[in-house]
Structure 1
Amino acid sequence: MESEASITNKTESLSSVFGSSLEADSFMEVNSFMQSEPFSPLSSPSTESAKSFSSVTSPCDSLLCSPYIELDEKHFVNNNAMRMLNLYGRHIEANNLKRSGRDAFISHARWLQQNYQELKVARLRLCFSNPSEYTNDAMEWIRMATSRDVEELHIDFSIPDHDRRYPECFKSYAELPPDVYMLRDSLHTLRLSGCKFQPALFGKFSALRKLSIERVEFDRESLQVLVANCWHLEDLKLKMLGHLTNININDFRHRIKRVTIEECIPLMEANIVMPGLQYFRYSGIAVPIVIKDYYTIEEAELDFSQQFELGHHGGLISEILICLQNARVLTVCSYLTRVIGSENLYLPTIIIQLRHLILMKATLHKDESAGIIFLLANYPKLETLTINMGYQTQLAPRILSDEEYNFNTPFDAERFWEAQTSPITCLDMYLKKVNILNFRGHKNEVHFLKYLLKKSARLEELSITITSDMPDWENLQGSCISAAKRLQHCEKASPIVQIAIR
C-alpha cells in the first residue's frame, strides 16, 4: 500500500504538469481508476467477482431473470479517462485501460450467459465493437437470445469512433448467425450495425415490423431484395450505409409506414414509392428526393446540415416540399431556410395541410429570416411554429465559411422585420402558438418575436425557453431573461396572447 508521502508527491507532480485546475482533479481520477479493478454495478468483470456476485444474489436476481438483456461494452470502458490519457500522450495506458474494460465486459457477458435463468427473452441489445477475436463468444450470446425466441434484437459490431468519411466506418466485423433467420414468428424488431447479413433470407421473418440497417456497405440491388423479402415491414431505417448511390424503394404491399434515411454516402438520389407512408425523415447532403403516392404522409423531417457549402439547391428543395405537401408536421433545418431565402423561389401550389412547422438549428440571420417569411407565406393554415436556436452548430466552419455566408456583415434585424408589411394568411387567421427554444436574447431573435406579436392576430401563447448552455460573459446581468421580459410590453395584435418564459 502506498504511503501518504508518495501519494502527495504524485499529486504535486501532476499539479506541476496540469496546474491546479479541474483537469488535474480529472487526471487524479484517471489514476485512481487505473489502480482499481474495473467494475460496473451491473457486471461481474472477473471469474472471482462473478462467483462472489452470484453468491450474494437470489435466484431471481434482476440480471439473471430479466427478459431484457443489455450487453454494452461502453458501460465497461471509461471513455473520459481514455480521452484524458490520450490528450496528454499516455497512449499505452489508454490502450491498457480500454483492454481492461473490454476484458471486464467479456467476463460479464460470459457469466450472464452461463447463469441466465429466464425462459423467454424479450430484447437483447449487444454492442461489442469489432468482435473478430471473440466471434464465437458473440455468436453464443446471440444464441442465448434466439433459443428463447427473442422479440427485439439489437446488434452493433461497429467502431463508433471511425469517421463516416473513411471506409472503416462501413466495415462489417461479423455476420448475423443462421439461428436468427429461424425466428419466424417471434422477431418483430431488428437493428444491425457493422453486421453483415443475407437480404434474401429476410423472407423468413413473418413477424418483422421494424428494421434498422447501419454502418455497412449496401448497394441499391441489395436494398431492393431486402424490401421485397420483408413482407410485413412497417418501419425502415437506413443510416450511414456505404456504396449506396441510389435509393429505389417500391413498397407494392402498401405496408411501410415510416422511413428514415441518415448520412448515407455517396447518395445521389432517392426515389420512393410507398402508398402507405406516414412518416419520412432525411438527414444528409442535399440530393433529389422523389416520393410518389405521398398522400398519406403526416409528418416529415429534412436535415441538410451535412451540406459542406451553401449551394444552389432551391429548385431541388421546392420539389421535395411539394412531395411533402400533405404533412401536418414538418421539421426543417436552417440550411433549407438559408437556401430558399437567398433564391427567388416559388411553390406551384399552396400547401394547406401543414399545422406545425419546426425550424432546427436556426440563427435568424438575413437569408434565414427571408426563408422563414417564404415558409410562413406558403403554409397559410399553420397553427404552431417552433424554432430551436442553434448558433454554435451553424457557425462551425465545417458547415459554412464566412466567405460563403458572411456573418460578419451587419444584419439590421429591426429594419428587415419592419419592412415586412405584406399580409400573411397564417399570421392573420391561424397561428396560435409559438415556441422558441434555446433563446439567447440576441437582437435578431427579439425583433423577429416583436414582428410575430405585432402580426399574429390569433396568437394565444408565446413560449420562450432560455438556453442552458450560454457562457457567463454572454449572459451578463441576466440580459437574456431581460430581453425576453421586454417582449411583454411590445405591440401585440392578439389581445389574449400569453408570454411564458422558462
Structure 2
Amino acid sequence: MATENNNLDLFSLLPESLLLAIVSFLPFKEAAARTCILNKKWLNIWQSGKDIDFDENFFVDSTSDEIKQAQRKVFIDFITNWIAHFTHRDINKFSLKISNPHSCSNTIESCVEFAAQLRVNVLTLDFSNKINSNGNNNNALFPVPTQVYQLGSSLETLKLCSCGFDVLDFLNFDALRDLSLSSIGIKRKTLKTLLKICMTIDSLSLENCWGLEDLNFGDEPIWLTRLVVNKCEMDSDYYLSFNAPVLKYFKYSGLVFTADIFIYARKMKEVDIDFSLESRYNSEHADDLCEVLLEFPKTKILTVCSYLLQVIPYADELTREHSELKVKHLILNTQMHPNELGGLEFLLNSCTSIEKLTLNIGSGVIFEDCKPPYAGDLKKFWLCREYFPECLVRSLKVVEVNKSKATDSEYIFLWFMMHIGEVLEEININICNEDDGLTETRYERAWNLKNNAKRRFNHLQISVH
C-alpha cells in the first residue's frame, strides 16, 4: 500500500503539461474511471482534454433490466455532475451516445446546450438502441435539439444517429464539411435539398438509412469529395446516379446496383465496393458488376468483395474485353476459394498496371450453387494458363496477404506469383491470430514457404508477421 501511495506522490510531482499528455492517451472511459478516484489535481487535469465522449455503453453492460436501469442512472448522474463542475476551456469534439432518449430529454438538451455554448467543431448525437433494436422505426427518432442549430458557423463535422431533423435548419451551418447520417429515415429529395442549401459539405456518409427511393441525384453537380453508402434500404431498384466532378473516395456496401456516375477520373483515389449483403447467387449480375467497375476506370485503389469475384466471370465476353482499369493497388476481400479464382483472374487481366495486390482473407459467403466456368483444380488453374495477366510481367511489385490462414489455395497462388511475377519484389504474409489453436501451425507453414522460396527466388523479400 505504501508503494502505491509513493507512486501517486511521484505522479503528482510531474508538471501539469506532462500529466495532460499522459491523460490525453486514455479513452474518455478510462480517464473517467481511473482519475476520478485520485486527488483533485488529477481530476482537473483530466478535464483539460478537448474531446468529450459521453457513451452509455461505457456504463451500461448488464443483461439484467434492473441493474441496467441502475447503471443508466449512474451514467446520467455522471453527465449532470460533470457539466455542473466544468471549468471553462476550449472543447473541439463533443459526443453523446444514449438510448431511449425520450426518457432523458432534459439531460440531452443540457448536453447540447453545453456543446453549443462552447462552440464545438465536431458534434456526435447517437440515440440508437443497439441492445434492443427492432429494425427501422420512424417513431423512434428523437428530434435534434434546437440548440444544435445555434452552433452555426463553428460546426464542421456533424454525426447524427436515430435523430430526426428539419433540413431547412441546416442553412445555419455555413462551415459544415462532414455529415454522417445513420439509422435515419430520409428521402432522396431531402438529400438533394440538403446538399443544395449546405454546399460546404464535401463528405457525406449514409449508414443503415431507409426510405430512399434510390440515389439518383440527377445531372446537377454535387461537390462531394467523399461519399459512403453503407447498408441503406432503397424502395425501388438499387440505382445510383450522380454527377460528382471532384469525388475522390467512394465506398458502397449493400445489394448489387446499377449506376450512371460522372466523375473527373483523374481525381478518383479510392473505391471500395462490397456486395456481401447479397444472400443469393445470381450470375445475371455479372454484366452489371462490370459496368460498375467501369464507372471508376482510373481509381488508384480498388477494393472488391467475394461476391463480385464469384459472379463476374459470367460477364459477356465483349464486356470483359473492354474492362480495362488503371488501378495501382488492388484489394480483394476473399477466401481464396476455387469459386473466386475466375474473378481474381478477371481483375488481374483488367488491372494492367497494378503495383500492389492485397488479399484480405476473410469469411465471406461461398455460394454452393456457383458453378465456375473453369476447372476447379487449383494447380491446374494457375499453372495451365494459355497466357498470363500483363500486370504480372510488367508492374506488380508487392503482394500482401492479411489474416493468412496458410491454406493450400493461398500458397499455390503465391508460388504462381513467384514464378510468373517478373518484377515482383516483396511478399508480405500477416498470419491470422484467431483463438482456434492453429496459429502456431500457420506460422510454421508460412516459414516453410519463406525458406523454400528463398532458395529458389533469392531476389524476393518475403516477410512473415
1:498 paired with 2:465, answer: no
Matched residues in 1 for 2:442 and 2:242: separation?
A: 52
Within 2, Cα distance between the matches of 1:442 and 1:177? 54
- Contact persistence 1:382–1:426 (CA under 8 A): yes
SS at match of 2:348: helix
Q: Is the 8 A contact 1:381 1:426 kept in 2?
A: yes
Instruction: Return the match for 1:386 from 338, 358, 361.
Output: 358
Following TM superposition, by how much is the alpha carbon of 1:232 offset from its aligned partner in structure 2, in angstroms? 0.6
Q: What are the Cα deviations for residues 139-172 of structure 1, in whole angstroms up to 9, with x where unaligned?
A: 11111011111110011001123568x334x654
CA shift, 1:98, in A, is 1.4
The 1:331/1:467 distance shift into structure 2, 3 A limit, reads same
CA distance in structure 1 between the partners assigned to 2:440 and 2:48 by the alignment: 51
Contact 2:429/2:446 (8 A) holds in 1:
no
Q: Report the TM-score, using the length of structure 2 for normalisation.
A: 0.85
Residue 415 of structure 2: which of 441, 445, 450 is its match? 450
SS of 1:161 mapped into structure 2 = coil
Partner of 1:426: 391
Q: Aligned partners of 1:278, 1:368: CA distance in 2, in Å?
A: 28
Aligned with 1:99 (options 37, 49, 69): 69
Shift of the alpha carbon at 1:104? 1.2
Contact 2:450 2:463 survives alignment (8 Å): no
- Aligned partner letter, 1:167: N
CA shift in 2, pair 1:474/1:177, >3 Å: closer
Mapped partners of 1:496, 1:287: distance in 2 = 44
CA distance 1:163–1:400, shift in 2 (3 Å): farther
Whole-angstrom CA distance in 2 between matches of 1:114 and 1:193: 26
Measure, in 1, the Cα distance between the counterparts of 2:75 and 2:68.
Answer: 11
* Structure 1 equivalent of residue 44 of structure 2: 61
Report the Cα distance in structure 1 between the residues aligned to 2:343 and 2:442, rounded to whole angstroms.
33
Q: 2:57 aligns with which of 48, 64, 74?
A: 74
The answer to whether the 8 A contact 1:283-1:302 is kept is: yes
Distance 2:455 2:380 in 1: 16
TM-score normalised by L of structure 1: 0.79
* 110 and 123 in structure 1: CA distance in 2 versus 1, 3 angstrom threshold: same
CA distance in 1, matches of 2:231, 2:300: 25
1:421-449 deviation per Cα after TM superposition (whole angstroms, max 9, x unaligned): 40321101100000011112211111111
AA in 1 matched with 2:40? T
- Measured against aligned partners, the alpha-carbon deviations of 1:417-476 in whole angstroms (never above 9, x if no partner) come to 111240321101100000011112211111111111111000010111111116226865
Pairing 1:167–2:136 present: yes
Q: Is the 8 A contact 1:305 1:333 kept in 2?
A: yes
Cα offset for 1:255?
A: 3.0
For residues 45 and 139 of structure 2, what CA distance do their matches in structure 1 show? 35
Spell out the pairing of 1:457-468 with structure 2 (5 A cutoff).
457-468=422-433
Relative to 1, partners in 2 of residues 1:473 and 1:66: Cα closer, same or farther, differing over 3 Å? closer
Contact 1:65 1:116 in 2 (8 A): no
- Which of the numbers 105, 109, 118 marks the counterpart of 1:135? 105
Counting only pairs closer than 5 Å after superposition, residues 393-408 of structure 1 correspond to structure 2 as: 393-394=363-364, 399=365, 402=368, 404-405=369-370
1:180 has 2:148 as partner: yes
In 2: Cα distance, 1:306 partner to 1:68 partner = 35
User: 1:468 and 1:171 mapped to 2: Cα distance?
Assistant: 43
Conservation of the 8 A alpha-carbon contact between 2:325 and 2:352? yes
Q: Give 1:64 deviation, angstroms.
A: 3.4
**8 Å Cα contact 1:341/1:367 also seen in 2:** no
Structure 1 equivalent of residue 81 of structure 2:
111
Measure the CA separation in 1 of the matches of 2:42 and 2:437.
53
266-275 or 60-69: which moved more?
A: 60-69
Structure 1 counterpart of 2:294, one-letter code: I
Gaps of 5+ in 1: 1-39, 45-51, 83-93
CA drift at 1:365: 1.7
Instruction: Report if the CA contact (8 A) 1:171-1:217 is conserved.
Output: no
1:307 equivalent among 261, 278, 296: 278
Match of 1:355 among 305, 324, 328: 328
SS of residue paired to 1:368 = helix
Distance 2:281 2:442 in 1: 37
Aligned to 1:340: 312
Runs of 4+ in 1 over 4 A off after TM superposition: 40-44, 52-55, 250-254, 342-345, 473-479, 489-492
Q: Which amino acid aligns with 1:224?
A: K
Residues paired across the two proteins, number? 431
Distance (Å, rounded) in 1 between the aligned partners of 2:55 and 2:435: 33
Give how far 1:500 is off: 1.1
**Identity across matched positions, percent:** 25
Listed one character per residue, the Cα deviations across residues 233-273 of structure 1 (whole Å, up to 9, x for unaligned) are 11110110011131123695663100000000136211121
Distance 1:316 1:106 in 2: 50
Instruction: Give the secondary-structure state (helix, strand or coil) at the position aligned to 1:270.
Output: strand
What are the superposed Cα offsets for residues 192-250 of structure 1, whole Å, 9 maximum, x if unpaired? 00011111221221110000000011111111111112121111101100111311236
Distance 1:383 1:487, change over 3 A: farther
| Compared CA separation, residues 54 and 116, structure 1 to 2 (3 A) | farther
* DSSP-derived class of the 2:217 partner: strand
Secondary structure of the structure 2 residue equivalent to 1:144: helix
**Structure 2: gaps spanning 5 or more residues:** 1-28
2:329 counterpart of 1:364: no
1:235 equivalent in alignment to 2:203: yes
Structure 1's 275 and 326: CA in aligned 2 closer, same or farther, altered over 3 A? same
SS in 2 for 1:307: coil
